[in-house]
Amino acid sequence: MPFILICGYPCSGKSRRSDELKRYFESDHNKDVTVVSDHSTGVNRNEVYSDSKQEKLVRGNLKSAVQRNLGKDAITILDSLNYIKGFRYELYCVTKECQTTQVVIFCDTNRDVASEWNMARPDEERYSQDIFDGLVQRFEEPKANNRWDSPLFVVQKDDALPFEAIVDALLRRKAPPPNASTLPQPLSSTNFLYELDKTTQDILGVIMESQKTSVPGDNIGIPGATDKLQFTRSFTLAELQRTRRQFITYMKMHPVDNPGKISNMFVQYLNNTLK
């Protein structure tokens, strides 16, 4: 069943929009709606968002909850910050694997307004100012030209939700077909994890060396891959290693039958997540 991803600054009105969508689909379209959120997992936001390990664990729990619910006869709404584009890409891959439609709703509320709304909350629900500022600074705004952020609906604080357009995108449009990077394949090689680790590490070495002589706009050739890396800016080793770990985690869940595909899939993943 369809998936609605809601993102925005802390206290930007995401939960209000989730409630509006839930009521609308239940009353006007007789659809069951499941809302997955930080609230439903009992998250202490100030603790979680001050600890990267805890935050990563929470994102994993949210993703797992979405995966469980996508197979049911209900619309699933993810009401969370969803501020990392790599995480939104992972969820896009999940919806492709499930062959269901999705939309992204961006609550584009002004930072100062969101801060005022945060300060008006009860103490136990309020973000500390340091955590609030840090999340706003790290927020990676969704862009309609990214396929994992599309269809994208941007709503200001006083806007009415474009319900009919959302219905068209979710219920009257065909789901995108799965592709090689999202189809689960049987694990047929005992050295798959070794090849995955070695191939991705070798590619990072090629990138770090090649970008010394590359300029933005170049395409970097990667051994074993037909696709080329789009060099849009300089990448730090820490950034590349973080993206590599995300890719390895995904591939462990979706191994391929031919290790020769790893290079091309990793380059595609890098092009999609490193902008």
DSSP per residue over 14-29, as a string?
HHHHHHHHHHHHHHHS
CB 160 within 8 Å of CB 112: no
Give the DSSP letter of residue 148: G
* 211-216, long-range: CB < 8 A, 24+ apart: 211/235
CB 188 within 8 Å of CB 236: no
Antiparallel, parallel or unpaired: β 229-230 and 219-220:
antiparallel
How much is the pLDDT for 206?
93
* Token reading at 113: 């307004």
Ranges of residues in the chain whose predicted pLDDT is under 50: 181-189
Phi/psi at 51 (nearest 5 deg)?
A: -135, 110
Cis-peptide into 151, omega within 30 deg: yes
The C-alpha atoms of residue 161 and residue 57 are separated, in whole angstroms, by 31
**45 burial class (0-12, 13-18, 19+ CB within 10 angstroms)?**
buried
* Token reading at 38: 């930080």
CB 267 within 8 Å of CB 227: yes
Q: pTM to 2 decimals?
A: 0.66
Q: How many CB atoms lie within 10 A of CB 96?
A: 20
* Token reading at 144: 């309609």
Which residues are registered as beta bridge partners of 3?
A: 76, 102
